[in-house]
Amino acid sequence: MPTQSIDPKTGTKLADPIIDSAASEVEEVVTRSAAAFIDWSEVAAKERASVLEQIATALDSNVDELAKLADQETALGVARLVGEVARTTFQLRLFASELKKGELLKEDLDEKIEGAPPQGRPQLRRSWVALGPVAVFGASNFPFAFGELGGDTASALAAGCTVVVKEHPAHPQLAQRVIELSQNAIVAAGFSKDILLSVRGFESGSTLVKHPLISACGFTGSQVAGKALFNLAVARENPIPFYGELGSINPVFVTENAAKNRGSEIASGFVGSFTLGAGQFCTKPSLILVPAASDFEAEALKAIDPLSFSTLLTPEIQAKFLKDVALVNSKTGVKTLLAPKPKADGFGVSIGLMSVSVEDFLANLHEISHECFGPVALVINYQNEAQLTRVAAQLDGALVTTFQAEVTQDQELLKQLVKIAKHRAGRLVLNGWPTGVAVTRAQHHGGPYPASTNVLHTSVGSYSMMRYLRPISYQDFPNELI
């Protein structure tokens, strides 16, 4: 079945369809990747760093072309996409820097001590080994930073793994161009292009995950698709790690003092955050808990232009968004403050806002907190702050939990909320907004399921490289044999 490139703004076809990969092509590609892994995994860290830097240079040198092509297929805006290319090359150079410093891959050495255990011991050297060929599933909403050459691919290459990317059908022309530029840079650096390969098509994804030569998977996308692929990964005869970042509802807790002192500012910030990128961020704040006695709903509506439309990435995303909003709105106690509407042409939708009392929310929590991927959010009105901790204790795992509070006045309440929320989120934000994920060593972009499939690891930042390595101990080995 072919993959068709479509302009989300108009719904028109952009180019000839691209034929999906047959099972035989997937087999050939994975076999080539496994063969290339033998040499790539033995390349010195500083040489791998040089390759990552050359790929980054190739993207930077073609940024205008790439941003224009991406905008044609995603409607995310050229200015934003130019910035996203910069984020992508920053990620590549960050991993290159880590490889040069060598701190993350540092060995542990225990010298030999004569005598019987436990005082005596052999010489032990703990090092790192790359897992093998990695299958990467990039995202549609960040075609560069989380796409074919996003953090999953960059971190796997840095770890010494080869990568087979499953190209995203939402931007097929861009996917092929990014892979082409990267392969050219790899070859120019003196290595085989088989270090980074790709396949296309829905069936190719499941074939990749089940292939016995694939050693791990990196995934950024929906909970439904991520869980299905995760189940395939763990059901294999030899199960493999599946690092899925699946998104979440990312709750926001607003204290009474914060609502009183900064209500209008918080409402404006919230609208800006949940509508950013047409609400197609995995870190979008979908729920916000506010005092029922506040004017928050009115302030939020003031910050929304009901006549503005945002363009969603695909017709499937648009249809699911409208269906999911209708599902949440059908639950007892949920009120429509502003109903999102589809645009006549393309995949556009207007902004939506719903509200519910905390009692009705808790009575049907899991269905009302259903993720709606797009520009809509739910306001939950509480009567007293004791209800905040009650809600916090019942929410599912999240990528981010945000607190809008007056630190001095709300210190005890904050302590209670943090005590609960740190077990349910990968990142906690105080008096800021969750959209926007810094690429750095201290970042953690993950969280308890369903936010991610592996709570121990991050998909963003320096430590994401460690997902694709395993420790190994050498006992009484001389240096020349390691």
The superfamily (CATH) of domain 252-430 is Aldehyde Dehydrogenase; Chain A, domain 2 (3.40.309.10)
Looking at the annotation, which residues are catalytic?
245, 282
CATH 3.40.309.10 fits 2-246+452-481, yes or no: no
pLDDT of residue 2: 85
Instruction: Specify the pLDDT at position 482.
Output: 85
Q: What is the pLDDT of residues 360-398, one digit of tens each?
A: 999 999 999 999 999 999 999 999 999 999 999 999 999
Q: What is the pLDDT of residue 274?
A: 98
Task: Determine the pLDDT at residue 433.
Answer: 98
pLDDT recorded at residue 247: 85
pLDDT of residue 479: 87
- What does DSSP assign to residue 400? E
User: What is the C-alpha to C-alpha distance for residues 269 and 286, in angstroms, rounded to an integer?
Assistant: 13
Question: Each residue of 9-47: pLDDT tens digit?
Answer: 999 999 999 999 999 999 999 999 999 999 999 999 999
Q: What is the pLDDT of residues 403-439, one digit of tens each?
A: 999 999 999 999 999 999 999 999 999 999 999 999 9
Residue 104 banded pLDDT, cuts 50, 70, 90: very high
- For tokens 């701190």, name the residue: 103
Return the pLDDT at 79.
Answer: 97
Mean per-residue pLDDT, 198-216: 97
Read off the pLDDT of each residue in 199-211 and give the average, rounded to a whole number.
97
- Rounded mean pLDDT, 309-313: 95
DSSP 252-282: EEE-HHHHHHHHHHHHHHHHHHHTGGGG--T
- What is the average per-residue pLDDT within 90-111? 97
Question: Is it the case that residue 264 has pLDDT exceeding 90?
Answer: yes
pLDDT of 267 > 80? The answer is yes
Per the document, the length of the chain is 482
d(CA 223, CA 243): 12
**Inter-residue contact 385 to 338 (CB < 8 Å):** no
If you count DSSP H runs as helices and E runs as strands, how many of each does the chain have, helices first?
15, 19
Q: Give the per-residue pLDDT at 74.
A: 97
pLDDT digits (tens, 9 = 90+) for 138-193: 999 999 999 999 999 999 999 999 999 999 999 999 999 999 999 999 999 999 99
Average pLDDT over residues 45-64: 98
As a whole number, mean pLDDT of residues 298-322 equals 96
Asked if the model's pLDDT at residue 1 lies above 80, the reply is: no
Q: What is the pLDDT of residues 450-479, one digit of tens each?
A: 999 999 999 999 999 999 999 999 999 998
Q: Rounded to an integer, what distance in angstroms lies between the CA atom of residue 74 and that of residue 178?
A: 15
Report whether 462 contacts 454 (CB < 8 A).
no
Domain residue spans in the chain? 2-246+452-481, 252-430
**What's the whole-number mean pLDDT along residues 94-121?**
95
How high is the mean pLDDT of the chain? 97
Question: Is the pLDDT assigned to residue 113 strictly greater than 90?
Answer: yes
Q: What is the DSSP string of 108-160?
A: EEE--B-SSTTT-B--EEEEEEE---EEEE--SSSTTTTTTTSHHHHHHHHHT
